[in-house]
Structure 1
Amino acid sequence: MIHWLKKWLVGYHRETEKTGTDRERIHTLQKGPLPRHVAIIMDGNGRWAKSRGMPRVAGHRAGMKTVRHITRAADDLGIEALTLYSFSTENWKRPKEEVNYLMGLPGEFLRTDLDELVARNIRVRMLGEEDQLPSHTRDAIMKFKEATRDNTGMILSFALNYGSRAEMIRAMHGIIDDVISGKLEKEAVDEEYFGRALYTADLPEPDLMIRTSGEVRISNFMLWQLAYSELWFTDVLWPDFTREMFFEAIDDFQRRSRRYGAV
């Protein structure tokens, strides 16, 4: 464990040295209002690979490295929650080879990153329908949850087999069942109650949503939760999205005036 930690620290310092002013940058950003919860649509892996004449899975492999860098950046800043849109309910339509590779990523991430996540006191969770996932994917997710269950730092959520419309329908079905059974009066159902029926019940709503790759849409991601989120889009493809770009998004967030419908 000590050998691994020394090896990781060397790699971390090399990463931060690339910016030259990493610590100063973090210190400056921490003086301003930080988003409690950042949600990211990680888009552009396939196009990144295609532009290099590589198979799409190569883009996903490169994208996983970006997941590592951005998780570190968010944790270093003191962000409370980071949610990454990893696999949508619509992504099952992709080629079988690509889907199989994506379903294997949680296991690969478990092997390469679990120790660091535990050392950083990060808690890992999943948002989405687990029952439809392959058994090896569910097993990796379960091991992540168990290993980080008692951690009290940043909550890292992977939206996997996730679709916001399906999430809301699932929540409504549960509420309807409670009303029919007499456990709940329909008049008691308000926005707060509905929010507690979603996967994100114990998370603050995202203050900032980032999407990479130049697409300017939400794509069935957290439709309820993003009602008053600040949206930040970039043309940069996810594998090329850097720690400094993440800081740029936070800096832009801090320059905005959030009025929640007020004047």
Structure 2
Amino acid sequence: MTVLTDLVRRLHARRLRARLVGAALPRHVAMVMDGNRRWARQMGFDDPSVGHRYGAAHLHEVAGWCAELGIRQITLFVASVDNVRKRESGEVAHLMRLVEEVIAEPLLRPDSPWRLHVAGRTEVLPESTRHALKLAEDATRDRDRGFHLTVAIGYDGRVEITDAVRNLLHEAAENGVTLREVADHLTEEAIGAHLYTGSRPHPDLVIRTSGERRMSGFLLWQAVHSELYFCDVYWPGFRKLDFLRALRTYTTRP
């Protein structure tokens, strides 16, 4: 029965893929990778944090689907500021090791097309995690194949906007610009340029797994005009079929 089900799903995925040929696919897909611990419990693991390892590894598989379809910009929500600061220390340490070993290190391989960008307050991360991400950013900086992977870690959308305005004001002060002059000439573009994501394109489609129907502070500024797609499947169980369904829904929206 499992073999038959798998065959049916693969055939369905193939049909969906064929229908997407020639369709206007999103250029930038952002994803909230939610449900790792719940997936582990569902699968019968004694330690629910095992789900983080499967979830981290799955990131690269999903990135491969995007590259295959010509989607060259992806942003992945790995951990919020609260995830890092408020969760049990052992779980956070485990998650940070996975970020270093399962997310950052594979990007160093020469066959990876992705250039890494990091979005968030990296100062809340352990030194080893900051170092691993910085190493991967520097090592991939000159990749010119046009594939960009942004990892949102130590991230909160309200904090991002606050930091952007603060940095804008600091920059103005260093240049001798008065507060009134800043206020008189303040624009959306000026604030946007100081976001963690800078001038990179805003997402066309945001996918959240696990069945939750909320953004949880993810890309509050950037996703204001994005299409939203909520999927009941937990992140480690998020299949290519589920991804293609999200893309199909995107292509059918006016």
Give the TM-score range, shorter chain: 0.7 to 0.9
Q: CA contact under 8 A between 1:128 and 1:159: conserved in structure 2?
A: yes
User: What residue number does 2:143 align with?
Assistant: 151
Distance 2:200 2:18 in 1: 25
Distance 1:119 1:21 in 2: 30
Which residues of 2 match residues 1-263 of structure 1 at below 5 A? Answer: 19=10, 26=17, 28-51=19-42, 52-91=44-83, 92-109=85-102, 113-114=106-107, 118-152=110-144, 153-181=146-174, 182-183=176-177, 185-186=181-182, 187-257=184-254
Distance 1:71 1:210 in 2: 13
**Quick one: structure 1 residues 30 and 195, their matched pair in 2 at CA, closer, same or farther if it must change by over 3 Å?**
farther
Q: CA contact under 8 A between 1:123 and 1:149: conserved in structure 2?
A: yes
Q: CA contact under 8 A between 1:30 and 1:77: conserved in structure 2?
A: no
Given residue 50 of structure 1, which amino acid in structure 2 is its aligned partner?
R
User: What SS is found at the alignment partner of 2:220?
Assistant: coil
Q: Please give the TM-score of this superposition, normalised by the length of structure 2.
A: 0.87
**Quick one: structure 1 residues 31 and 132, their matched pair in 2 at CA, closer, same or farther if it must change by over 3 Å?**
same
**Quick one: structure 1 residues 179 and 150, their matched pair in 2 at CA, closer, same or farther if it must change by over 3 Å?**
closer
Q: CA contact under 8 A between 2:29 and 2:204: conserved in structure 1?
A: yes
Deviations for 1:210-229, whole angstroms, at most 9, x for unmatched residues? 00111100001111111110
Distance 2:245 2:33 in 1: 16
Distance 1:55 1:231 in 2: 32
How far did 1:19 drift?
A: 2.7
Given residue 127 of structure 2, which amino acid in structure 1 is its aligned partner?
S
Q: Please give the TM-score of this superposition, normalised by the length of structure 1.
A: 0.84
Distance 1:212 1:38 in 2: 13
Distance 2:200 2:32 in 1: 18
User: What residue number does 1:4 align with?
Assistant: none
Deviations for 1:100-150, whole angstroms, at most 9, x for unmatched residues? 01111122125762355x424211111011122111101211221122111
Given residue 32 of structure 1, which amino acid in structure 2 is its aligned partner?
A
User: What SS is found at the alignment partner of 2:214?
Assistant: coil
**Quick one: structure 1 residues 150 and 180, their matched pair in 2 at CA, closer, same or farther if it must change by over 3 Å?**
closer
Q: CA contact under 8 A between 2:229 and 2:246: conserved in structure 1?
A: yes
Q: CA contact under 8 A between 2:36 and 2:52: conserved in structure 1?
A: yes
Matched residue count: 242
Q: CA contact under 8 A between 2:79 and 2:152: conserved in structure 1?
A: yes
Q: What RMSD over aligned residues (CA atoms) do the two structures have, in Å?
A: 2.4
How far did 1:155 drift?
A: 0.5
**Quick one: structure 1 residues 226 and 146, their matched pair in 2 at CA, closer, same or farther if it must change by over 3 Å?**
same
